[in-house]
Structure 1
Amino acid sequence: MRKSFDDLTIADDYMFYRVMENTDICKTLLNIVLHDKTDTITDVQLQKTVADAGNAKGVRFDVWAKDCNGTIYDVEMQAINKDDLARRIRYYQSAIDVSVLEKNQPYESLPDSFIIFFCTFDYIGKDLPVYSFKTICTEDSTIHLADGITKIIINSTAAEKEASPALKSFLQYMNGKISDDGFIRKIEQRIKEVKESEELRKEYMLINSFERDARNDGWKSGWQDGMQAGMQAGMQAGMQAGIAQGKSEGIAQGFADGSRQTKLETAKLMKQANCELDFIIQISGLSKTEIEKL
């Protein structure tokens, strides 16, 4: 169950990207992590969706930022360890590349990119506050492949080991400790503004309602499909075993099918209500093409 709107903190993804939409806060945090190497941020997009790749799995980025040199920054907040972060980062990088390289452009046009995950757990398990990864040669670690990719996983549980006072304060803040640091006070003020916004409160409730309906519709559809599949399987290999198998497989498939149907219905209603296209994409997770066809 999701938190109530008033209980959200910087470690919750919704609040995180609502805070990061403030360009100054976003740039400051990036410079804290990257040691003042970030150029002027020219664009910040929230919940940017990349979903126009045929049948491929779509991606929704928490915070997508671009600087004046074209460098792209994907910044994510992760509070739950699903043990898939390494391959998830790999897929996110591929989605970034596909979304920015247009047809007939040379590969040299690919911009440098940073994928940064702020985690409330130690995914790597080595008790470091920051894990930075670049592509290096296995035979000679002094040789770097100039692919322009940097992946950073940040672990707030090791906050006390961080040497940078600014980053240490932010990691402690992720853990619930508020300090007198100027940057933290600025974030606190932004969080206060978000929580005082009735529009954002309603948006958060709508997102929760949408996700809950998607789960419920998927469960109901899956249960019905599972019963049918189970009966068919049971005719051949034992009714009891077949029903158990059918329920399991059907519920999984039904969740996916029901979730998509709910997305389509929600997007259609939002479109009829003249909601902005970007907002419909953010809430439903559908692509621009799918929404325009409704």
Structure 2
Amino acid sequence: MNKSFDDLSIVDDYMFYRVMEDTDICRKLLNIVLRDKVEPITEIELQKTIADGGGAKGVRFDVWAKSKSGTIYDVEMQAINKKDLAKRIRYYQSAIDISVLERNQPYENLPELFILFFCTFDYLNKGLPVYTFHTICNEDKTIRLADGITKIMVNSKDAEKEVNPELKAFLHYMNGKVSSDPFIQKIEQRIKGIKENETLRREFMLINNFERDARNDGWIAGMQQGLQQGMQQGMQQGMQQGMQQGMQQG
């Protein structure tokens, strides 16, 4: 069941990317996770879509941010565990790489890339509030492949285990617990402003209606396809049975 606009929280896609539209909030959250290593954000795109005309699966990113040095941050909120997060991250990385490297450019021009998923569940079931992945050599764990990709899964389910107080407060906030932490209060004020914005309220309603209609159209198309396939199979089966009976009687 879809939430109403007034009931949206930070873990809902629309509210998350509207909050992260504020470059200061976006950079602050990234710095909390990445320990103050994020440069000023110069570009932010919401719901950035990469569609391949050749028929490959398209991708839509919640928040696509770029720093002044060109580092790209894909920041996602995931409230439902679809059991595909590892492969999804793999595909997101490939889609981003293809979209940013123009023809005839050398591979060295690929920017540093961070893919962060903030999850309300523990995808790996290992009890860590943060999982950070780099490409490491199996034979010697001290050797790291400098491919420029960092993949991070943040798990709010184990918020209490997080030692960083700011990140801990944000993870609890994802779980619905509002604190007096200054950053959380800044987000709360941002959300309040969003909910008071009638233009954004109408936008959310339009998006909801569009997605609902798309789902309904897909359901109807699926039913029609299923009926057509069923009719075709029934006709083929009937013809085969008729031919067999005719041969037996003959």
Query: Which residue identity lines up with residue 178 of structure 1 in the other structure?
Result: V
Q: What TM-score do you get using the length of structure 1 for normalisation?
A: 0.80
Deviation at 1:238, TM superposition (A): 6.7
Query: Which residue identity lines up with residue 126 of structure 2 in the other structure?
Result: K
**Which residue in the other structure is 2:247 paired with?**
none
Verify: 1:163 aligned to 2:147, yes or no.
Answer: no
**Which residue in the other structure is 1:188 paired with?**
188
Distance 1:32 1:117, change over 3 A: same
2-side partners of 1:225 and 1:81: how far apart? 29
Q: Alpha carbon RMSD of aligned pairs, Å?
A: 1.2
Q: Radius of gyration: which is bigger?
A: 2
Distance 1:238 1:164, change over 3 A: farther
2-side partners of 1:136 and 1:222: how far apart? 44
- Tell which deviates more after alignment, 216-225 or 112-121: 216-225
The secondary structure found in structure 2 opposite 1:108 is helix
1:21-170 equivalences in 2 (<5 Å): 21-170=21-170
Deviation at 1:93, TM superposition (A): 0.3
2-side partners of 1:225 and 1:156: how far apart? 41
The secondary structure found in structure 2 opposite 1:194 is helix
2-side partners of 1:111 and 1:190: how far apart? 31
**Which residue in the other structure is 2:245 paired with?**
none
The secondary structure found in structure 2 opposite 1:111 is coil
2-side partners of 1:52 and 1:44: how far apart? 22
2-side partners of 1:90 and 1:224: how far apart? 34
Higher helix share: 1
The secondary structure found in structure 1 opposite 2:57 is coil
Query: Which residue identity lines up with residue 145 of structure 1 in the other structure?
Result: L
**Which residue in the other structure is 2:233 paired with?**
233
Deviation at 1:32, TM superposition (A): 0.2
**Paired residue total:** 239
1:95-143 residue CA offsets vs partner (Å, 9 max, x unmatched):
1101100011000000010000000000010010000000011111111
2-side partners of 1:167 and 1:118: how far apart? 11
Query: Which residue identity lines up with residue 81 of structure 1 in the other structure?
Result: N
2-side partners of 1:114 and 1:185: how far apart? 26
Distance 1:27 1:238, change over 3 A: farther
Distance 1:215 1:169, change over 3 A: same
Deviation at 1:53, TM superposition (A): 4.5
Distance 1:109 1:235, change over 3 A: same
Distance 1:238 1:36, change over 3 A: farther
**Which residue in the other structure is 1:221 paired with?**
221
Identical-residue share of aligned pairs (%): 74
**Which residue in the other structure is 2:242 paired with?**
none
2-side partners of 1:14 and 1:29: how far apart? 17
1:22-78 residue CA offsets vs partner (Å, 9 max, x unmatched):
000000000000000001111111001111342111100000000011100000000
Deviation at 1:175, TM superposition (A): 0.4
Query: Which residue identity lines up with residue 26 of structure 1 in the other structure?
Result: C
2-side partners of 1:95 and 1:227: how far apart? 36
1-side partners of 2:137 and 2:53: how far apart? 31
2-side partners of 1:31 and 1:225: how far apart? 49
